Chains A and B, each alone.
Chain A
Amino acid sequence: MLRSVSKSFVGVRVLDHIDLDVTPGEVHAVVGENGAGKSTLMKIISGAYAPDEGSVVFAGETRVFRGPREARRAGIGMIHQELTLLPDRTVAENVHLGHEPVRRGLVDRREMLARTSALLTSMGAGPLPVDAPVGRLGIAQRQVVEIAKALALDAQLLIMDEPTAALADHEVELLYALVRRLRGRGIGLLYVSHRLAEVFDLADRITVLKDGTRVTTVPAAETTTAELVRHMVGRDLSGYYPERAAPGDQGPVRLAVRGGGNRKLRDVNLRLRAGEVVGVGGLQGSGRSALARALFGVAPFTTGEVRLDGRPVRLASPRAAIRAGIAYVSEDRKGEGILARQSVLDNALLAARAISGPWSGRAGRTTRMRELLGAVDVRTAGVDQEIRFLSGGNQQKVVLARWLALGPRVLLFDEPTRGVDVGATSALHDVVRRLAREGAAVLMISSDLPELLGMSDRIIVMREGSIAGELSGAASEADVVALAVGAAPGAVA
């Protein structure tokens, strides 16, 4: 399908003679590190970029798409990592955006609703309210709508970029089933993911990209995770997670919550020690994020008491929390983490500037920040580059550097490695562990169970707004899930 495609930006070659083919009824996974060229590749196939060299061959014809519109009409659907749905518009309106059925010059609502229902049924998706605004649906349902939208124009090739990034575990299974059903219908799927387990679950063949070149394409059955990782990073990641803290490394209690509660939380009791990483597990909506947001003063506790280093503190606003020495990395990087159009340096200096004097930055501060950005290994063309051009992993490192500049005593991470590739994930893990070793207390929320178990010294599991239980770092995935869903799994939706 792709013949020797190359693409350069401002003199930097990001894709170097890539060949790739997807056959009907195949799931072809593409994996690779930050900046390996995955997004560029997908953008070329989906018509957003034109290749400098080489060509896209689709359904036997060499095609030059002049934009996503043409590619869509030709039968190439794209599922973006961030969902591209309008929350205020209905499911049917979103699915048909850009190609609304028209009768006598007017949009035929009935036809649009009927087609949407039929499409969703043919996908085997459960019943969805096709006439309700998308904003009322859950994340998993929105994903189904997004896929329906891509399929609405009779797509023969579907490109999926990190489709599970925003999904909880039980929702991922639904997506898998959907992908397999589409494959059964003869649709070719190009599946990009950072989660290797997922790639092995789904893919028929796997292509590894590294630094804009294709390292290999192998049938999934003939390779292993270790081999893929080696191809991706060019080295073995044997010690995949950094070493845990020894019992003696842990210091005094940094943060203590007693009887904390608010609209989403009940009776939270929690102690974080200096030097430890405490993982937070639980289903989506179980109060994991609410806990981090309460501690950071976004939606503060309305009852109970919080002590920091033994002294009571009122965490009434993010500013108060930051002043108290708490840092927070949101799960919504695009919405709450970065200012997309500002430079890497401005993004990194945001918090330091917010709580310091009236001047935006002395040279010394800038220099220190450059060092910090180097220390967390941000890969960028320059700190003056707009942050939106960086990969997710590098953006996350910038967010981390923002907090490190303040020397926080407590760090709250909500899904810190979501949408971040293997190499950068590993780097982030190292930084998190190093911070703990240097005396910070770390609270880390993760839906990625191997990460949760691999990183945490202890794990607390949330359910229905309170802490359902605590596990040691040696617990199993099954232990976490059992606590998360409660004694009667059916009772918790």
Chain B
Amino acid sequence: MSALSVVARRPVPGVYVALVLTAVIGWLVVALRGGALFNQATIVSLLHVAAGLGLVAVGQTLVILGGSLDLSVAYVVSLSTLVAAETMNGGNGALLPGVLLALAVSAGVGLLNGLLIARARVNAFIATLGVGLLLKGYLDSGYDGPAGSTSPGLVQTLGYQRIGPVPVSFVVMLAVAAAAWLTLSRTRFGHHLVAVGGDPEVARLSGVRTDRVLVAAHVLCSLCAGLAGVYLAARLGSGAPRVGTEGLYDLESIAAVVIGGTALAGGRGGVAGTVGGVLLLAGIDAIFNQLELDAFAKQVVRGVVIIGAVAVYARRAVRKGRW
């Protein structure tokens, strides 16, 4: 049985099978060239990458499950770093207000996204693209480079503190993912969200307030992106107006969700797969950094992985038969 068919059979473990395969192949390739993939430095760096992307991707999972999408997350990440760092202004006194304000601003963006989509009935792609461009305009005109200064307390903890090789930020990401998992599987809101993604009309006729559910999902998604921004501010020590877009958090988060087996059309999937997808993308990053190959090869492999994952899931859906 080929690896692909294993991936195909069960969506959530599938991405983890791919993850293990990638790790083994990566380790072999790196070892053959005399390097070591699994040393402390690479693992720490991998987990840091996964923490940032993971936070955004968990939020993205929620809106995609609900049949929506958020293209504004990259700008929300940038905005959040700036709000946090400028409010904190280098002192520990304003640490909490800085974090809270950054999250509040992010939630506001999510609310706007949600209202545009659920109430004004603007297509999610267009609505979040538009809101993203709006934020881009603000960031481009207001900032030329890093601004503000993150509280040292936050830098030391969320930014760099580790438990063994595991960064605190990664643990935070896992906690957020766990909360999202619980929300999806054990709360009414979660059940309603998946129902809206599966078929909004069915959900509506069943008495689900589809508007509220979608708006809430978008607020949560932006909150996750905002939290990722706070983490990046802690990591960089200042606000960075372009960190979100340069990190490709919009497309990467969507890619992670899809690789994790969530249907882009909504209604099927979950955060467990997304975390796997994040680790897979971060793992590929780590391997290529270790090999010191050019960026082009890395992008090719990532592209192949994403397309391959979608193709495998599509085949699986076909084999399951028509509904």
Instruction: For A153, give the chain B residue with the smallest CB separation.
Output: B207
Q: Assess whether A72 is in contact with B188, with CB atoms less than 8 Å apart.
A: no
Interface mask (A85-116 → B, CB under 8 Å = 1, otherwise 0):
11111000100011110100111010000000
How many angstroms from the CA of A97 to the CA of B206 in the assembled complex?
6
How many angstroms from the CA of A102 to the CA of B203 in the assembled complex?
18
A149 within 8 A of B: yes
How many angstroms from the CA of A97 to the CA of B192 in the assembled complex?
7
How many angstroms from the CA of A244 to the CA of B195 in the assembled complex?
49
Interface mask (B176-199 → A, CB under 8 Å = 1, otherwise 0):
000000100111101110110011
Q: Assess whether B186 is in contact with A97, with CB atoms less than 8 Å apart.
A: no
Residues of chain B with a CB closer than 8 A to A149's CB: 206
A359 CB, nearest partner CB in chain B, Å: 28
B44 CB, nearest partner CB in chain A, Å: 35
Residues facing A in B243-267 (CB within 8 A) are 267
Q: Assess whether A107 is in contact with B209, with CB atoms less than 8 Å apart.
A: no
Residues of chain B with a CB closer than 8 A to A39's CB: none
Residues of chain A with a CB closer than 8 A to B268's CB: 88
Q: Assess whether B207 is in contact with A68, with CB atoms less than 8 Å apart.
A: yes
Q: Assess whether A88 is in contact with B206, with CB atoms less than 8 Å apart.
A: no
Residues facing A in B32-91 (CB within 8 A) are none
Residues of chain A with a CB closer than 8 A to B208's CB: 69, 97-98
Residues of chain B with a CB closer than 8 A to A105's CB: 187
B204 within 8 A of A: yes
How many angstroms from the CA of A73 to the CA of B192 in the assembled complex?
17
B296 within 8 A of A: no
Q: How large is the interface on A (under 10, 10 to 19, 20 to 34, 35 or more residues)?
A: 20 to 34
Q: Assess whether B205 is in contact with A78, with CB atoms less than 8 Å apart.
A: yes
Q: Assess whether B187 is in contact with A88, with CB atoms less than 8 Å apart.
A: no
Partner of B188, one of A68, A80, A84, A107: A107
Q: A107-B186, A109-B186 are in contact. Are A86 and B267 (CB under 8 A)?
A: yes
Q: Assess whether A69 is in contact with B186, with CB atoms less than 8 Å apart.
A: no
Q: A86-B195, A86-B198, A88-B198 are in contact. Are A80 and B205 (CB under 8 A)?
A: yes
B133 within 8 A of A: no
A135 within 8 A of B: yes
Q: A84-B201, A88-B267, A89-B195 are in contact. Are A73 and B207 (CB under 8 A)?
A: yes
Residues of chain A with a CB closer than 8 A to B209's CB: 69
Q: Assess whether A84 is in contact with B191, with CB atoms less than 8 Å apart.
A: no
Q: A86-B267, A106-B186, A109-B186 are in contact. Are A72 and B207 (CB under 8 A)?
A: yes
How many angstroms from the CA of A107 to the CA of B184 in the assembled complex?
10
Partner of A99, one of B198, B203, B207: B207
- What count of chain B residues pass the 8 Å CB interface test? 25
How many angstroms from the CA of A88 to the CA of B191 in the assembled complex?
12
How many angstroms from the CA of A48 to the CA of B182 in the assembled complex?
33
Residues of chain A with a CB closer than 8 A to B122's CB: none
Residues of chain A with a CB closer than 8 A to B187's CB: 102, 105-107
A215 CB, nearest partner CB in chain B, Å: 29
Q: Assess whether A84 is in contact with B207, with CB atoms less than 8 Å apart.
A: no
B24 within 8 A of A: no
Q: Assess whether A135 is in contact with B323, with CB atoms less than 8 Å apart.
A: yes
A73 CB, nearest partner CB in chain B, Å: 7
Interface mask (A59-95 → B, CB under 8 Å = 1, otherwise 0):
0000000001100110000101000111111000100
How many angstroms from the CA of A273 to the CA of B199 in the assembled complex?
44
Q: Assess whether A107 is in contact with B191, with CB atoms less than 8 Å apart.
A: yes
B197 CB, nearest partner CB in chain A, Å: 9
Q: Assess whether B202 is in contact with A84, with CB atoms less than 8 Å apart.
A: yes
Instruction: For B204, give the chain A residue with the smallest CB separation.
Output: A68
Q: Assess whether B202 is in contact with A86, with CB atoms less than 8 Å apart.
A: yes
Residues of chain A with a CB closer than 8 A to B192's CB: 97-98
Q: Assess whether A87 is in contact with B323, with CB atoms less than 8 Å apart.
A: yes
Q: Assess whether B195 is in contact with A102, with CB atoms less than 8 Å apart.
A: no
Q: A100-B191, A106-B187, A107-B188 are in contact. Are A69 and B207 (CB under 8 A)?
A: yes
A96 CB, nearest partner CB in chain B, Å: 8
Instruction: For B269, give the chain A residue with the smallest CB separation.
Output: A88
B191 CB, nearest partner CB in chain A, Å: 5
Residues of chain B with a CB closer than 8 A to A98's CB: 192, 195, 203, 206-208
Interface mask (A127-140 → B, CB under 8 Å = 1, otherwise 0):
00000000100000
Instruction: For B268, give the chain A residue with the smallest CB separation.
Output: A88
Residues of chain A with a CB closer than 8 A to B199's CB: 84, 86
Interface-central residue, B182, B191, B192, B201, by most chain A CB under 10 Å: B191
Residues of chain B with a CB closer than 8 A to A109's CB: 186
A294 CB, nearest partner CB in chain B, Å: 15
**Can you name 30 A-B residue pairings with CB atoms under 8 Å?**
A68-B204, A68-B206, A68-B207, A69-B209, A72-B206, A72-B207, A73-B207, A84-B202, A84-B206, A85-B202, A86-B195, A86-B202, A86-B267, A87-B323, A89-B191, A89-B194, A89-B198, A97-B202, A97-B207, A97-B208, A98-B195, A98-B206, A99-B207, A102-B188, A106-B182, A106-B186, A107-B185, A107-B187, A107-B190, A135-B323
Return the 8 tightest CB-CB contacts between A and B, nearest first: A98-B207, A69-B207, A86-B198, A98-B206, A84-B202, A97-B206, A106-B186, A88-B268
Task: Give 5 A-B pairs besides A97-B208, A109-B186 with Cβ atoms closer than 8 angstroms.
Answer: A97-B203, A100-B191, A102-B188, A107-B185, A107-B188
